[in-house]
């Protein structure tokens, strides 16, 4: 694994350190400030230019990102999680022999070091640290990619995310933003009086959404379990039990295709609110986005690729109406199965046989409507066949009280007025079983325990899920879900590849 000649040279340097009584993997650090705090405490550049205070000593640590030797003195730049700092190192300021025999021979780009020194400003006006002591903390035996080009290969960046983070500060900043979005999401719902809960990630029945599950085996119980598709049915059990507002920021798993907006495991928040309807959740969702934009301090007009998205312009449209007004499909076609099949054949788009009307309308929506929904749009009143867990509309039993929020052609949120009629729910599950028997692997399983739970009575409730990964994509102008996941799913490599070590 370590046969590469550049790695061998670095291993020799690590051995040189050991021969001089220096542990190249030191387990102690005296750092007393971060690079950003060093900069904050030394903002008065003019004062530093006029007078050096050699008694103002700081200890900083970080990875060497730049190295330039100039005879008796050298400049290096180190980076920690807060920023980059230039350091000035001279032969006469270090212990006898250390500069020539240790520093110049064993230290290099990629190493993690500890610097002790005082602040000063270079002739070019750059705040730096004048080093009075220098220690190796971690010797890197693999060289970093060439600094001017970094890592160009995106697949390599995903597979070796640690290297991507070392080389690309903007990637690191993106994941700081992701963390902040999740933190703000948690705070928003807590401030609204919701209780954060945890529910099982291994389910006896694959439920909560229409999707193909991952299957695992529980050795102690001797039975198969399914990695959760969604926490919905467990969260609604909690509403039945008497909690009135619950949420879970959760990991879900769906054994389906991978593309720019789908990863087999993903993060979402699901929340359920008793005595509310899906219309209440539309208002809550708009308020949630206002909360995020305010605290992230970003404009409501966002650039996303070729689009400018206006988050002050939320609109609302019914599902069937959108097929015509946005999708451009004649209304006489959208309400007849045979006409829809004929229409798709004319468009040279293949459909599965024996789809019901709601599923066919869903195909129209996916193909002709969803990609055109750029500004935030709530699509409401879905066909009942597409929503086995949502409450029927009181005026039209063919539709349910549901909405989905779309932004930049992507689904961001999905919400229902929840079905709390146990007889209706049982019938929906039975219809899903028929669909599964006809070959639909994503159809919902029968969950008799959940039906029994409903029979004890669930208050009128509204529930919603928001996809965190896609939300982060929109807010950071990222166009692949892999860009916003620290470790996205990847096809296995047939041979272990290391980064390009030729410099």
Under the banding of pLDDT at 50, 70 and 90, the label for residue 207 is confident
Under the banding of pLDDT at 50, 70 and 90, the label for residue 432 is confident
CA distance 448 to 425: 10
pLDDT > 70? residue 498: no
Asked if 349 contacts 386 with a C-beta cutoff of 8 angstroms, the reply is no
Instruction: Report the percent of the chain where pLDDT is more than 90.
Output: 78
Under the banding of pLDDT at 50, 70 and 90, the label for residue 503 is very low
CATH of the domain at 128: 2.40.50.140
In a domain, 363, yes or no: yes
Three-class secondary structure assignment of 102-160 = HHHHHCCCCCEEEEEEEEEECCCCCEEEEEEEEEEEECCCCCCCCCCCCCCCHHHHHHC
- Cβ-count burial of 119 within 10 angstroms (0-12 exposed, 13-18 middle, 19+ buried)? buried
In a domain, 446, yes or no: yes
> How far is CA 272 from each of CA 56, 67, 386, 418, 469, rounded to the nearest angstrom?
55, 55, 20, 9, 20
pLDDT > 80? residue 499: no
Q: What is the mean pLDDT of residues 387-410?
A: 92
pLDDT > 80? residue 51: no
CA distance 161 to 138: 19
Under the banding of pLDDT at 50, 70 and 90, the label for residue 88 is very high
72 and 197 co-located in one domain: no
Structural tokens at position 267: 């993060």
pLDDT > 80? residue 146: no
The residue ranking higher by pLDDT, 494 or 476, is 476
pLDDT > 80? residue 49: no
Q: What is the pLDDT of residue 435?
A: 75
- Cβ-count burial of 182 within 10 angstroms (0-12 exposed, 13-18 middle, 19+ buried)? middle
Q: Which domain holds residue 53?
A: 5-143
Q: What is the mean pLDDT of residues 214-221?
A: 91
User: What is the value of pTM for the model shown?
Assistant: 0.89
Q: What is the pLDDT of residue 441?
A: 65
- Span 415-426, pLDDT tens digits: 999 999 999 999
Q: What is the pLDDT of residue 495?
A: 58
In a domain, 156, yes or no: no
pLDDT > 50? residue 493: yes
Domain count, the chain: 2
Q: What is the mean pLDDT of residues 422-432?
A: 88
In a domain, 491, yes or no: no
CA distance 333 to 262: 30
292 and 391 co-located in one domain: yes
Q: What is the mean pLDDT of residues 12-30?
A: 95
Q: Measure CA 347 to chain center.
A: 36
CA distance 426 to 428: 5
Name which of 110, 101, 113, 475 is nearest 304 in CA terms. 475
Q: What is the pLDDT of residue 235?
A: 97
Task: Name the 3-class secondary structure at 333.
Answer: helix
One-character DSSP codes across 213-225: PPEEEETTTTEEE
Task: Please tell me the number of Cα atoms within 13 Å of 129 on its side-chain side.
Answer: 32
Asked if 58 contacts 39 with a C-beta cutoff of 8 angstroms, the reply is no
118 and 225 co-located in one domain: no
Q: What is the mean pLDDT of residues 42-68?
A: 85
CA distance 496 to 503: 20
222 — alpha (psi -120 to 50), left (phi > 0) or beta?
left
Q: Running DSSP on this structure, what letter comes out for residue 82?
A: T
333 and 439 co-located in one domain: yes
Under the banding of pLDDT at 50, 70 and 90, the label for residue 447 is confident
Under the banding of pLDDT at 50, 70 and 90, the label for residue 442 is low
Phi first, then psi: give them for residue 219, nearest 5 degrees: -65, -45
209 and 271 co-located in one domain: yes
Longest dimension (CA), the chain: 90
In a domain, 495, yes or no: no
CATH of the domain at 227: 3.30.930.10
Task: Name the 3-class secondary structure at 290.
Answer: helix
Q: Measure CA 29 to chain center.
A: 32
CA distance 173 to 179: 10
284 and 404 co-located in one domain: yes
Name which of 289, 499, 451 is nearest 375 in CA terms. 289
- Span 287-315, pLDDT tens digits: 999 999 999 999 999 999 999 999 999 99
- Span 151-198, pLDDT tens digits: 677 888 899 999 999 999 899 999 999 999 999 999 999 999 999 999
Q: Running DSSP on this structure, what letter comes out for residue 203?
A: E
Under the banding of pLDDT at 50, 70 and 90, the label for residue 502 is very low
121 and 234 co-located in one domain: no
Under the banding of pLDDT at 50, 70 and 90, the label for residue 46 is low
Q: What is the pLDDT of residue 212?
A: 86
In a domain, 153, yes or no: no
- Span 107-119, pLDDT tens digits: 999 999 999 999 9
Q: What is the mean pLDDT of residues 370-398?
A: 93
Asked if 83 contacts 74 with a C-beta cutoff of 8 angstroms, the reply is no
Give the DSSP H or E segment for 454: helix 448-455
229 and 355 co-located in one domain: yes
- Cβ-count burial of 233 within 10 angstroms (0-12 exposed, 13-18 middle, 19+ buried)? buried
Q: What is the pLDDT of residue 43?
A: 84
In a domain, 404, yes or no: yes
Angle between helices 448-455 and 232-241 (to 10 degrees): 20
312 and 447 co-located in one domain: yes
Under the banding of pLDDT at 50, 70 and 90, the label for residue 434 is confident
134 and 214 co-located in one domain: no
Cβ atoms within 10 Å, residue 475: 24
Report the chain's mean pLDDT, rounded to a whole number.
91
Q: What is the pLDDT of residue 2?
A: 76
Structural tokens at position 400: 């349910």
Residue with tokens 């900069």: 39
122 and 195 co-located in one domain: no
250 and 399 co-located in one domain: yes
Least confident of 45-49, 165-169, 374-378, 459-463: 45-49
Structural tokens at position 236: 């609604």
Name which of 25, 28, 29 is nearest 11 in CA terms. 25
Q: What is the mean pLDDT of residues 203-229?
A: 87
CA distance 270 to 231: 7
Task: Tell me the residue length of the chain.
Answer: 503
- Span 334-347, pLDDT tens digits: 999 999 999 999 99
In a domain, 151, yes or no: no
CA distance 446 to 241: 21
């Amino acid at each position: 694994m370590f046969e590469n000649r550049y790695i061998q040279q670095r291993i020799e340097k690590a051995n040189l350190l050991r021969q001089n009584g220096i542990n190249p993997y030191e387990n102690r650090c005296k750092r007393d400030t971060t690079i950003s705090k060093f900069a904050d405490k030394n903002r008065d550049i003019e004062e530093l230019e006029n007078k050096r205070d050699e008694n103002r000593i700081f200890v900083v640590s970080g990875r060497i990102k730049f190295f330039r030797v100039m005879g008796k003195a050298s400049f290096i730049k180190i980076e920690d999680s807060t920023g980059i700092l230039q350091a000035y190192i001279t032969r006469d300021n270090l212990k006898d022999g250390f500069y020539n025999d240790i520093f110049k021979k064993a230290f290099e780009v990629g190493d993690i070091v500890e610097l002790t020194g005082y602040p000063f400003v270079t002739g070019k006006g750059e705040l730096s640290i004048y080093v009075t002591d220098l220690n190796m903390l971690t010797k890197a035996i693999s060289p970093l990619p060439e600094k001017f080009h970094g890592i160009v290969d995106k697949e390599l960046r995903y597979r070796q995310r640690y290297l991507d983070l070392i080389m690309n500060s903007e990637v690191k900043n993106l994941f700081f933003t992701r963390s902040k979005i999740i933190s703000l999401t948690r705070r928003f719902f807590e401030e609204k009086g919701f209780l954060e809960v945890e529910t099982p990630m291994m389910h006896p029945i694959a439920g909560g959404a229409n999707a193909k599950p991952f299957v695992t085996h529980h050795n102690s119980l001797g039975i198969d379990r399914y990695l959760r598709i969604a926490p919905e049915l467990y969260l609604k059990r909690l509403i039945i039990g008497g909690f009135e507002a619950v949420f879970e920021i959760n990991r879900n798993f769906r054994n389906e295709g991978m593309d720019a907006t789908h990863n087999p495991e993903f993060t979402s928040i699901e929340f359920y609110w008793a005595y509310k309807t899906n219309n209440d959740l539309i208002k809550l969702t708009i308020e949630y986005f206002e909360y995020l934009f305010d605290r992230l301090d970003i404009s409501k007009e966002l650039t996303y690729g070729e689009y400018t998205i206006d988050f002050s312009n939320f609109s609302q449209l019914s599902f069937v109406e959108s097929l015509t007004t946005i999708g451009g499909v004649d209304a006489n076609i959208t309400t007849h199965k045979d006409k829809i099949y004929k229409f798709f054949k004319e468009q040279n788009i293949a459909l599965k046989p024996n789809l019901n009307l709601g599923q066919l309308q869903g195909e129209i929506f996916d193909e002709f409507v969803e990609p055109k929904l750029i500004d935030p749009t709530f699509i409401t009143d879905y066909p009942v066949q597409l929503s086995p867990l949502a409450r029927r509309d009181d005026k039209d039993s063919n539709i349910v009280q549901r909405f989905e929020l779309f932004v930049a052609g992507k689904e961001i949120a999905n919400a229902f007025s929840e079905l709390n009629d146990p007889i209706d729910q049982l019938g929906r599950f039975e219809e899903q079983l028929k669909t599964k028997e006809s070959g639909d692997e994503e159809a919902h399983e029968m969950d008799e325990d959940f039906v029994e739970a409903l029979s004890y009575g669930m208050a009128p409730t509204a529930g919603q899920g928001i996809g965190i990964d896609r939300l982060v994509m929109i807010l950071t102008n990222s166009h692949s879900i892999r860009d916003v996941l620290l470790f996205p799913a990847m096809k296995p490599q047939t041979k272990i590849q290391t980064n390009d070590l030729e410099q």
